[in-house]
Structure 1
Amino acid sequence: MIPLGSEGPDGAVSYEHCFVGSFLTSSGINFPSMKVTLANVDVDRIEAGGSWTFKSHLLVMHRLRGREDPMVSLVTIDF
């Protein structure tokens, strides 16, 4: 589990600086390796769009805005 969001002064949780992602694969993903790799990725490169892969597995990512629900549907990507 990776904690998301930060608590604001009003006590509500904001996800403004968070991304959520989903791998479109039926194979298992090495979570510790993926976590280290993505921690070193430039945010501007993620937001620039395009397709992302990790060890040949397609990764769909979405940047959360404000208090947007982190349970967004991530099953499609535009190429």
Structure 2
Amino acid sequence: MVSLLEKILSFNKPKNINVFLCGLRGSGKTTLLYKSLIKDLGAVVNELEPTTLYHYEELRVGRKQFGIWDFSGDVTVK
């Protein structure tokens, strides 16, 4: 059982969280990923190509770091 002291000491540690994006082809997974990273996404959206296997990006929000995995909606990846 985790003691109260261990919980308090671990509270201030940076948190690493992994997020897995999956869905049908063309459903906007990559757009969602890059919308969180790029403020002016309008100019970039037209240049995005379909994901062939996966994209991985890291996003830091406060003391939390998110590892975001964006997988292709292709049948072979599922």
Report the TM range for the smaller structure's normalisation. Answer: under 0.3
TM-score with structure 1 length normalisation?
A: 0.28
* Structure ranking higher in helix proportion: 2
* Structure ranking higher in strand proportion: 2
